[in-house]
């Protein structure tokens, strides 16, 4: 039966092409289902607020607001430690909780570095590793990388208070 069909004008190339189209049609719906609720999506954040550092211990607390993909307007609370790593450089490690516009939370850990100037202003890089959350972010994972900038507002010899801005981008899966 197939031999007579080929003799009537269907070339082997047309049959192979039809097979490829059928294979793509069969596989496409399952690929679309796999993308829902679990594949990587781009994420980007812009946040600004206040950073308070205990100079003796290096402990910091950052409270910021801003916007972030998949979260909308956010408030975020970062805590951690800034450790001197050179004459004008710091190593940074910490964790954060971001609260989305609908109340869902996104948890992450941070690692980074910064360079300080004579007035304790800083420019640095940050890696934000997403470790889970609540609501739709319950099993979230991913990584954002980016930069931050701190501008000194006050320093009393014990506590350094700075304005901080963060800009991050990467991928999230949830």
The CATH number for 40-173, chosen from 2.40.128, 3.10.20, 2.40.160, 3.40.5, is 2.40.160
Given the structure tokens 């206040």, which residue do they identify? 50
**Does residue 116 contact residue 89 with C-beta atoms inside 8 Å?**
yes
Q: What share of the chain has pLDDT > 90, as a percent? A: 76
Closest CA to 98 of 149, 142, 53, 57: 142
State the pTM of this model: 0.76
Look at residue 38 in the predicted model and tell me its pLDDT. Answer: 61
The DSSP-derived string for 66-133 is EEETTTEEEEEEEEEEEEEEETTEEEEEEEEEEE-TTS-EEEEEEEEEEEE-TTS-EEEEEEEEEEEE
Quick one: 36 exposed, middle or buried, by C-beta within 10 A (0-12, 13-18, 19+)?
exposed
Residue pair 108/130 in contact (Cβ under 8 Å)? The answer is yes
What single-letter DSSP state applies at residue 135?
Answer: G
**Is the CB of residue 122 less than 8 Å from the CB of residue 149?**
yes
pLDDT tens digit sequence for 79-119: 999 999 999 999 999 999 999 999 999 999 999 999 999 99
pLDDT of 40 reads 87
165: number of Cβ within 10 Å: 16
Res 36 pLDDT > 80: no
Task: Quote the pLDDT of residue 37.
Answer: 53
| pLDDT at 7 > cutoff 50 | no
Q: What's the average model confidence in pLDDT over 134-147?
A: 96
């Amino acid at each position: 039966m197939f031999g007579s069909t080929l003799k009537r004008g269907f070339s082997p190339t047309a049959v192979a092409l039809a097979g490829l189209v059928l294979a793509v049609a069969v596989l496409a719906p399952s690929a679309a289902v796999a993308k829902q609720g679990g594949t990587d999506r781009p994420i980007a954040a812009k946040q600004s607020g206040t950073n308070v550092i205990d100079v003796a211990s290096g402990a910091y607390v950052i409270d910021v607001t801003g916007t972030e993909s998949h979260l909308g307007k956010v408030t975020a609370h970062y805590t951690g430690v800034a450790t001197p790593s050179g004459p004008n450089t710091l190593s940074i490690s910490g964790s954060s909780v971001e609260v989305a516009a609908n109340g869902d939370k996104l948890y992450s850990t941070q690692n980074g570095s910064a360079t300080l100037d004579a007035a304790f202003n800083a420019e640095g890089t940050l890696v934000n590793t997403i470790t889970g959350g609540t609501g739709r972010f319950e099993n979230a994972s991913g990584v954002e990388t980016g930069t931050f900038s701190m501008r000194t507002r006050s320093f009393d010899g014990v506590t350094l208070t700075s304005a901080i801005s963060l800009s991050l981008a990467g991928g999230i899966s949830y």
